[in-house]
Amino acid sequence: MRWKCICAYDGGKFHGWQSQKNAEAVQDVIEAALASIFEKQVRLHGSGRTDTGVHARGQVFHFDGDWAHGPERLLAAFRALLPMGIQIKSVRRVSSFFHARYDAKGKKYRYFIFQGTADPFEMAYCWSINRSLDISKMQLASSLLVGEHDFVAFSALNGDVMEDTVKNLRVLSVSSRGRHITLTAEGSGFLYKMVRSLAGALVNVGLGKLEPSDLYQILKDRKRVPLIHTAPAQGLFLEKVVY
């Protein structure tokens, strides 16, 4: 039996999604729960990794395991064993051909920014910037990056890279409500630290360090520059994996 699960987690409590030898990752904790439920080691497969400090509301993974009860009982078993920082939101049986990573058609992320000093209940889930940002310029800049482009200038890739750096960025938007700013990015796929790089670049546009046209030129030049810096991890949320 193959099971598809959607989970949420507080990335600040773990060393990323993917299993590691010397640190506790989200995958490690969920696999420990699976071992307890099935009384044997069970390997799960995620839609992709998230870095240390990055959060998720809609991470997807699958695993194989024979279960004599319904998915609601499996969900209850998960919730009894997992810590507060991880929540399995749904469990359902799927075809044995389904793969959480290879069947994904895209992902949706949100990045949260606070203009000013965020309170203690928000600080761990946003980038608190004690400056005012020019939202209209950020919106213009974001619109220039939408579409299919080579986004190598907005990644943290090093050396020779086998991954295709051309991605279809279907949505990149900036919205604000009071002092809260939300960046939404949805696309066919994302390079290493690409969303955080886009967030860092857009913030520099908002601060007046870059013009929207500068960002477009950097995209076309395919060369990362110092003003394309990686925004802090705690503001980033994986919202949804599209299949």
Catalytic residues, which ones?
A: 51
Instruction: Provide the H-helix boundaries in the chain.
Output: 26-38, 71-81, 135-145, 194-206, 212-221
d(Cα 5, Cα 3) in Å, to the nearest integer?
6
Question: How many CB atoms are closer than 10 A to CB 214?
Answer: 16
Number of H helices, E strands in the chain: 5, 10
35: left (phi over 0), alpha (psi -120 to 50) or beta: alpha
At 7, phi and psi to the nearest 5? Answer: -135, 160
* Chain-centroid distance, C-alpha 172: 14
Contact by Cβ (8 Å): 27, 18: yes
